[in-house]
Structure 1
Amino acid sequence: MLLMNKGRFRARLAETQDDIRAAQSLRHLCFHGTGQGVDADEFDVICDHVLIEEARSGRLVCTFRFLPLSDGGQIGRSYAAQFYELSALEAFSGPMVEMGRFCIHPDINDPDILRIAWGAMTRFVDDNGIEMLFGCSSFHGTDEEKYLDSFAMLKERHLAPRRWLPRVKAPQVFKFAQKLRRKPDAKMAMLRMPPLLRTYLLMGGWVSDHAVVDPQMNTLHVFTGLEINAIPPARKRLLRGVVG
């Protein structure tokens, strides 16, 4: 199913096992540093997978997956629930979707890819009446020292509302909201912030007060939530412009 077609790129839902395997191969390249192998888990069979391809060649340049949930009562089914204690979000009454395994081919550097990805997300959100988008936003590597300004900015400006705040579940975490006392260098913070997380924050997204240290994926990640009704009107118009 084609979600959108813009310029050099198109976004579509995976339809075959070959599509899903291509997504898993790209994920392995991005997350594990080699194109030999696949990155796969038990969530792949219950998710919708988005493929962003070069329209002319069909080359896969970006992928991510969606897990739709009818409301917060299903939050325990999510990938993120393995790492975060999410009982506070069980009270969320509207439809939700978890977005995960987002990656862009390391040899491709084109800002249009992220724009198309957000356009595809927007179409999925609109078509399914989604009220909250959430997932795990990852920093590459497990050394928090590289990202202290980014974490300081998250603490200062972007922590989750108390009513939704995820609690600690994973065995190894970096409690940045508790430990950091520094004033963030805004330029360095945004430079080190993952591009997907930067976009979440521009939309009004929020994060957990701690980062999970994930040695298997070689990442630090924060739970990230975005309430659709809280997106600023100007940002919504930008997203609609991509979709339209």
Structure 2
Amino acid sequence: MTIDLLKREVALEAEHTAPLQRQETDVFGRIGSMEVRLARSQREIDAAQAIRYRVFVEEMHAQLPPEAMRRQRDFDSFDEICDHLLVVDTALFGDPEDQIVGTYRLLRQEVAMAHGGFYSGCEYDLAPLLARHPDKRFMELGRSCVLPHYRTKRTVELLWLGNWAYSVKHGMDAMIGCASFPGISPETHALALSFLHHNARVKGDWTVSARPELYRDMDMMPAEAVNAKRAIMAMPPLIKGYLRLGAMVGDGAVVDQAFNTTDVLIVLPTASIAGRYINYYGADASRFA
């Protein structure tokens, strides 16, 4: 059984009130009372950072810098240059920032290169990959998280609709970003990592590897010893979702001590996105608009 089977399975307080010049056109889609759009204010970004803190620190036991722990916000310098995708439940009582239930952080290549590079470049050597595709525009997906009560198919659909709509709007050719397994022991995930190594590893012009000093081998089990069904079941939902879309993974895993995770690099050319997903969301991401 190969990956083809899986595809078939289907910030200061004063700044918080500053507008980000967002308009209603930033709403990418709606399902019932929930909508997906970009953050419109520093207050909404702050609320997204608070959700990230709840998920990454309180739930996953990440250890952030002292100021982040004191403020109970997950934030870094990349927040200032990224767009922040939000899933908002408008049925919840309160201001817009009180209605945010999920978030993604999006970074376009031209913005990243003007500010020192992509976040995932800290773990993976992206320069050769980007150099081999000078005619393509990359975007980075990161900091994905959803509040526990909202970890449903509907929320995931909206997040992916938002990512797809954003990529269409900005003419993106490929998505990259780190996705995580829990814990800092890759051996704990030998089955799933070995499956990814044998069945979904980047090839040819899309080859990209973990930085040598951070590289952890994913090839821990021979291909014939890997039970594909069990390996897929052992993967975090986010990684399974990427694979269903047609993603590849970079060569080598990276242990992130601060976030208490074992990371893999997702590489997803938009031309590779499974046709049924494009049909579902619409080639122009208009299905739920």
Same fold, TM-score > 0.5, yes or no: yes
Structure 1: where are the runs of 5+ without partners? none
Structure with more strand by fraction:
1
Return the alpha-carbon distance in structure 2 between the equivalents of residues 202 and 72 of structure 1. Answer: 27
Among candidates 70, 74, 87, match of residue 39 of structure 1: 74
Output aligned runs, 1:56-95, within 5 Å: 56-57=91-92, 59-70=99-110, 77-90=117-130, 91-92=132-133, 93-95=135-137
Deviates more, 1:38-47 or 1:68-77: 68-77
Among candidates 258, 262, 275, match of residue 233 of structure 1: 275
Q: Is the 8 A contact 1:85 1:167 kept in 2?
A: yes
Report the alpha carbon displacement of residue 75 of structure 1 after superposing the two structures with TM: 10
Quote the RMSD (CA, aligned, Å).
Answer: 2.4
SS at match of 1:217: coil
SS at match of 2:177: strand
Report the alpha carbon displacement of residue 72 of structure 1 after superposing the two structures with TM: 10
Deviates more, 1:214-223 or 1:26-35: 26-35
Deviates more, 1:89-98 or 1:207-216: 89-98
Report the alpha carbon displacement of residue 22 of structure 1 after superposing the two structures with TM: 0.4
Output aligned runs, 1:1-244, within 5 Å: 1-33=26-58, 37-57=72-92, 59-70=99-110, 77-90=117-130, 91-92=132-133, 93-169=135-211, 171-177=213-219, 179-181=220-222, 183-240=225-282, 243-244=286-287
Name the aligned partner's letter for residue 180 of structure 1: M
Larger RCO (CA under 8 A, 6+ residues apart) = 2
* Matched positions, count: 243
Deviates more, 1:73-82 or 1:220-229: 73-82
Name the aligned partner's letter for residue 213 of structure 1: V
Cα distance change on mapping 1:168 and 1:233 into 2, 3 Å: closer
Normalized against structure 1, the TM-score is what?
0.91
Structure 2: where are the runs of 5+ without partners? 1-25, 60-68, 93-97
Return the alpha-carbon distance in structure 2 between the equivalents of residues 188 and 232 of structure 1. Answer: 22
Deviates more, 1:164-173 or 1:191-200: 164-173
Name the aligned partner's letter for residue 261 of structure 2: T
Return the alpha-carbon distance in structure 2 between the equivalents of residues 203 and 134 of structure 1. Answer: 13
Name the aligned partner's letter for residue 221 of structure 2: L
Q: Is the 8 A contact 1:131 1:227 kept in 2?
A: yes
Return the alpha-carbon distance in structure 2 between the equivalents of residues 159 and 12 of structure 1. Answer: 32
Normalized against structure 2, the TM-score is what?
0.77
Q: Is the 8 A contact 2:107 2:140 kept in 1?
A: yes
SS at match of 2:150: coil
Name the aligned partner's letter for residue 121 of structure 1: N
Report the alpha carbon displacement of residue 243 of structure 1 after superposing the two structures with TM: 4.0
Report the alpha carbon displacement of residue 76 of structure 1 after superposing the two structures with TM: 5.9
